[in-house]
């Protein structure tokens, strides 16, 4: 079952979140953190995928502080607006993530999975919160720049070797400094997991998903 729920942050901001409930025994909770394009069809599909694997899954609408129901296209106009919203809301969005983690804690152990901007926020969450059991990061652009942070939970990263927005040398340096983090690279571009984007790479996406599911089985069950 899927629905939108209203949640409050500790700074009393009310936001919507997309909730996907499994039709089987619940293994744990997952917070899916959006790209710069909003909680769109892709993010909802990701939520449903993980709920089909037994996880209570939620995706907070991080753009709600600016406007409700923002979904941007995967084009230059969408990228520019998404970057603007990211800069505007980047520091505040950790509050929505914190409240979303609490919302799904009834399911058991909780993990976060983030894509693009959400990947960077997943890294920040892993290094900030004590009540996370797993963090999975897909091509988070700010992650190599925040390489000196220390995660408080098991963490896995997926990066594209062809991603010009995240130089592979920076990824290698991050991996060298964070040997306790599982870092994987793929012969793919930024956004390779999203089948709504031209950069989609099914083979790499499938491998990353298999690794992610195994990581969740190990750390949330």
> For 98-119, how does the pLDDT look when each residue is reduced to its tens digit (9 = 90+)?
999 999 999 999 999 999 999 9
Q: Three-class SS of residue 110?
A: strand
Q: What is the mean pLDDT of residues 193-218?
A: 97
Number of domains in the chain: 1
Query: Is the per-residue pLDDT at 191 higher than 90?
Result: yes
* Residues 38-51 pLDDT 10s: 999 999 999 999 99
pLDDT over threshold 90, residue 95: yes
Rounded Cα distance, 159 and 182, in Å: 11
Q: CA of 159: how far to CAs of 53, 81, 120, 131, 193, in Å?
A: 23, 24, 12, 25, 10
Considering only CA atoms, which of 186, 191, 176, 178 is closest in space to residue 211?
186
CATH of the domain at 33: 3.40.50.1820
Q: What is the pLDDT of residue 78?
A: 97
Task: State the pLDDT confidence band at 28, using cuts at 50, 70 and 90.
Answer: very high
pLDDT band, residue 124 (cuts 50/70/90): very high
Q: What percent of the chain has pLDDT over 70?
A: 100
**Residue range 61-78: average pLDDT?**
97
Mean pLDDT over residues 201-216, rounded? 98
Which residues are CB-contacts of 63 (< 8 A; sequence separation ≥ 6)?
38, 70, 85, 89
Task: Give the pLDDT mean for 14-39.
Answer: 97
Q: What is the pLDDT of residue 221?
A: 85
Question: What is the mean predicted confidence (pLDDT) over 106-135?
Answer: 98
Q: What is the percentage of the chain residues whose pLDDT exceeds 90?
A: 99
CA distance 154 to 175: 14
Q: What is the pTM of this model?
A: 0.97
pLDDT tens across 145-180, in order? 999 999 999 999 999 999 999 999 999 999 999 999
pLDDT confidence of 67, banded at 50, 70, 90? very high
Q: Is the confidence at residue 206, as pLDDT, over 90? A: yes
Average pLDDT over residues 117-144: 98
Which residues constitute the domain of residue 79? 2-220
Q: Which residue has the tokens 């896995």?
A: 156
């Amino acid at each position: 079952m899927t629905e939108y729920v209203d949640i409050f942050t500790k700074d009393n901001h009310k936001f919507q979140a997309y909730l996907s409930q499994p039709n089987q025994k619940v293994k744990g909770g997952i917070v899916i953190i959006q790209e710069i394009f909003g909680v769109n069809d892709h993010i909802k599909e990701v939520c449903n995928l993980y709920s089909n694997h037994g996880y209570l899954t939620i995706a907070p609408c991080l753009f709600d502080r600016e406007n409700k129901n923002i979904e941007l296209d995967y084009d230059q106009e969408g990228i520019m607006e998404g970057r603007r919203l990211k800069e505007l809301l980047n520091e505040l969005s950790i509050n929505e993530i914190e409240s979303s983690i609490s919302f799904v804690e009834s399911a058991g152990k909780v993990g976060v999975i983030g894509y693009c901007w959400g990947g960077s926020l997943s890294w920040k969450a892993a290094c900030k919160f004590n009540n996370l059991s797993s963090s999975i990061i897909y091509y988070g652009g700010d992650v190599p720049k925040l390489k000196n942070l220390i995660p408080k939970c098991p963490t896995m990263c997926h990066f594209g070797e062809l991603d010009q927005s995240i130089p592979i040398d920076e990824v290698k340096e991050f991996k060298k400094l964070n040997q306790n983090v599982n870092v994987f690279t793929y012969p793919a571009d930024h956004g390779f997991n999203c089948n709504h984007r031209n950069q989609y790479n099914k083979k790499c996406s499938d491998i990353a998903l298999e690794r992610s599911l195994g990581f969740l089985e190990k750390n949330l069950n």
